[in-house]
Amino acid sequence: MQLKVSRSLFSLTEVRTVEVQVDMGRNIDLSQLEFQFGGKSLSEWKKWTSGSSFNGNPFITIVEKPHFIGGTGIVKATLKFDLLFNRESLAERSIRTQYQQFIGSYELAMIDPRTKIKASATIQLNIYDEFLFHHELKPEIDQIFKQAYKKNNRYLKYQSLGKSVQGRDLHFVILAKSKATVDRYLNVTLPTALEQPEKLINQLDNGLVGEYQIPIWFNNIHPDEIEGPDAQVELLRKIALEDRIAVHTVQNGRKETITLNVNEILNNAIFLFMFTNNPDGRAANSRRNANGFDLNRDNHFQTQPETILVTQEIAKWTPLSFLDMHGYIGRFLIEPTTPPHNPNYEYDLLYNNMIRQARSMGEAGLGNSDFKSYVIPALDYKNGWDDMSVGYTPMYAMLHGSLGHTIEIPTLSQDGFHAMVGIGLGAVLFVNENKDQLYKNQLEIFKRGVNGEDNRSVDKYFVNASGKSIGRIRGKHTNFFPDYYVIPIGPKQQENKLEAYKMVQYLLRNGVKVEKLTKNTVVNGITYTKGTFVIPMKQSKRGVANAMLYKGDDVSDWEAMYDSTIVNLPDLRGFTVHEIRNNDAFNQNSIRIRSTALPKGFIHTKAPFHVLSNTNNDTIKLVNNLLKNGAIVEKALETRGLINKGDFIVRTKDLQNFGKNYYFIAKYLYTSIPVKTMHLKQPKVAVTGSTQLKFTVSELGFEMVKQADADVIVSDSSSILVSNLPGKVFVGIGFDTLKAVQSRGLLPGFNINYTKNGHEGLVKAIIKNHLLTSGYQTDEILFTTSGMWITSVPAGAVVLASFSNSNDFFVSGWWPGHENGKGQILALTHTLKNTTFNLFANDLAFRAHTHNSYRFIANCIFDS
């Protein structure tokens, strides 16, 4: 029998009642009627108490017992569905990992056990009404498209930006007035803005610009902060289907409603929906992607396929307004941020409008929910919520001139969903009312770049921890930005040609203009060969280029920092870049390029042997591929002639068979091998600790096995199984591992000191000439986020690296107390009781982007 229900949708975050009724006839005993939910009696449904235990009060109760309606046989009752987790917000992490198991369809049944009469209905239980699993997202988008095509002629386009790690599509939707408006923006308005911003500014000032639209980008990158994708679906639905949208807002403490005319806003805006940057995380209810990375710390490093695809699209569109939807920090928070601010933002042209847009979003968020207040860190916090890092998606967008906001709702709930929808509408309202002025400010950002202007109006926003304005740190220069960056390609000028070319590819896909020399050119006494890459800094996207290429700042005076601040890709990835301050350095000797391929190694086919320099990560991958395929690989144990200690010697025929897709620097030998060598076998490697370390070791091509079966254990974890160490090499990296080695007395005579785990810096280091440091120079710049150094080593241990003893050893970063590390030990090797300990106090694989440090790991593994 069909059970009639007054509602069929129930929520884990809202208490709801349902009236049920069915004609069961008068021949039943009402007192014996039973209810079941999902095939279980109501008594079996208990509220969550803790952990994974559900043994609290009843989840479903009968608030009106079954009774007949009048003289009929119709039975009616009322049930109450309470809060399964005993709270309206399910933001607590222990709950967020398990609530989704309860989402789905259930049978609600009324049963007469005597007559076996059963009346039932199918109902839905959801976290909030609009929540969609990832597999439901595309069908819902398709349904909105289908409805819109029947209702109006608005332009809707779906595209997949590409695939996630696990092969899921990155869903992206464009919504606009027409295809013509999109084409005009991408092919006319934006190119003019980037190349001739002053032209558009003059047209705006004189009312001659005509109709134009600017992009508003909605984003989510942490998909377990679940309202972001669902709110975007709701915003898409409203803007695609409705003619007028009611925006509930709070003005002067009172709720009021403002009506948006959709046709009018489509005259002013193009809407871009990036439902989630991390579809694998949405499918798994995880913050991280399938490789274990927090993508909201990867927008500058761009090691993961998802961030590469999304940042490329941000660069393509250069949105005016960028909203990244997050939760749940306990307060309703909308950026802009506290200082310190990254000096590559044109902050004076962003700050005031970001404050205004934040208020518009906050007021609409309050108006659309029961939240009572919101905070803006720039106004309400002193420090600790900064935008010094450009790794967050909104901060990355700010480098492109966007009003970038991280938005944190405080609750995972129906109310949180409503607030997030309101936030989106508040941004639309703000842009719609202020379009010309907002766009003019973005054009002014581009104008400064094109003109090479370092405007001092930004300086008051760049302050030290005492609140004193320090401006951009210009040193002896009058302009913070150089005239050019040069990435040389000559073998004696470029430390790592592979990483240099990868950087050029990076810049191009991030919207930066790159040129290439058409002939040899002398600048400051240096001859740059034809083909050298030149980044002219008189361009609209100079902030993107400079943020990735400049050395960084020392912000160690600040009490708190939200996350890692260092980018400096040349030092972190080990390639050479030159800063040029000469406006006419290259005259007409360069042409703009749109793409470049990566270099490949050269094989001299007539020589029987090739010596592979141990100078880049592709060579490590190649060696592992050779070993995997049974090729003979020798490692040089000494330096003699053309061969350096640590180089790899391979047969030419093997290199021809397996080396064509790798970059390597090779010298060739016609004679037998003239140095002492060790015969390499493919090492078996166990990795414990972070997913980033596992990703790095795997990316280098090493075979991964269990600890008991390994030749070498690589770890950045405090969990060390001592029973697995004998007969092995143990490579310990960073704070947790070295602290565990000391506290457990695994290496007598080994001691450490530190300020705080998380203190980070780029530091000048002195490297000892040793097989484990082969391929490195005596002077190197290394990265740490451990705030640690080694104070003593066991007798007979070999020190592999130390902090420089120079007063300027600290290059950049946030490390209060870093002066205590000056001249201290960074790394050592020592063999004790048949175990070799290779310990590094700094970080070699941090977020899989410190490419220049990977070969320390590889050297230790091959030495096993």
List, for residues 503-524, the tens digit of each pLDDT value: 999 999 999 999 999 999 999 9
CA distances from 677 to 143, 611, 643, 666, 712 (A): 66, 12, 11, 17, 20
Residues of the chain above pLDDT 70, percent: 100
Residue 671 reports pLDDT greater than 90? no
pLDDT of residue 545: 98
What DSSP assignment string belongs to 87-131?
SS---SHHHHTTGGGG-EEEEEEEEETTTTEEEEEEEEEESSTT-
Find the mean pLDDT for residues 208-226.
97
* Amino acid identity for residue 8 in this structure: S
What DSSP assignment string belongs to 206-243?
TT---S--EEEEEE-S-TTSTHHHHHHHHHHHHHHH-S
Residue with tokens 């034809």: 530
Residue 587 reports pLDDT greater than 90? no
Find the mean pLDDT for residues 383-411.
97
Find the mean pLDDT for residues 568-582.
97
Find the mean pLDDT for residues 372-389.
97
**φ, ψ dihedrals at 503, nearest 5°:** -65, -40
**For all residues of the chain together, what is the average pLDDT?**
97
Find the mean pLDDT for residues 168-178.
98
Q: Output the six-digit token pair for 66.
A: 């079954």
pLDDT of residue 630: 96
The CA distance from 765 to 823, in Å, is 9
Q: What 3-state DSSP class applies to 145?
A: helix
pLDDT of residue 354: 98
For 320-373, the pLDDT digits (tens) are 999 999 999 989 999 999 999 999 999 999 999 999 999 999 999 999 999 999
The CA distance from 175 to 141, in Å, is 12
pLDDT band (50, 70, 90) for residue 14: very high
Rg (CA), the chain: 31
Find the mean pLDDT for residues 374-403.
97
The CA distance from 827 to 805, in Å, is 15
pLDDT of residue 140: 98
Angle between helix axes 497-509 and 542-549 (nearest 10 degrees) is 150
Alpha helix (H) ranges present in 574-633? Answer: 617-628
Q: Which of 734, 691, 612, 781 is nearest to 286 (CA)?
A: 691
Comparison of pLDDT for 641 and 222, the residue scoring more: 222
pLDDT band (50, 70, 90) for residue 491: confident
Sign of the alpha-carbon dihedral angle for 764, 664, 848, 695 = negative
pLDDT band (50, 70, 90) for residue 864: confident
Find the mean pLDDT for residues 738-759.
97
pLDDT of residue 845: 97
The CA distance from 78 to 6, in Å, is 10
Pairing state of beta strands 514-517 and 533-536? antiparallel
What DSSP assignment string belongs to 272-309?
EEE--S-HHHHHHT-SS-TTS--GGG-TTT--SHHHHH
For 23-50, the pLDDT digits (tens) are 999 989 999 999 999 999 999 999 999 9
Q: Which of 611, 601, 569, 550 is nearest to 775 (CA)?
A: 611
CA dihedral 593, 599, 604, 605 (to 10 degrees): -100
Residues of the chain above pLDDT 90, percent: 97
Q: Which of 402, 284, 267, 394 is nearest to 337 (CA)?
A: 394
For 107-129, the pLDDT digits (tens) are 999 999 999 999 999 999 999 99
Cβ pair 545, 484 in contact under 8 A: no
Residues 6+ apart with CB under 8 A from 787: 735, 754, 755, 756, 757, 758, 759, 760, 815, 817, 818
For 684-706, the pLDDT digits (tens) are 999 999 999 999 999 999 999 99
pLDDT band (50, 70, 90) for residue 253: confident
pLDDT of residue 673: 83
What DSSP assignment string belongs to 770-817?
SGGGTT--SEEEEEESS-EEEEE--TT-EEEEEE--STT-EEEEE-TT
pLDDT of residue 642: 86
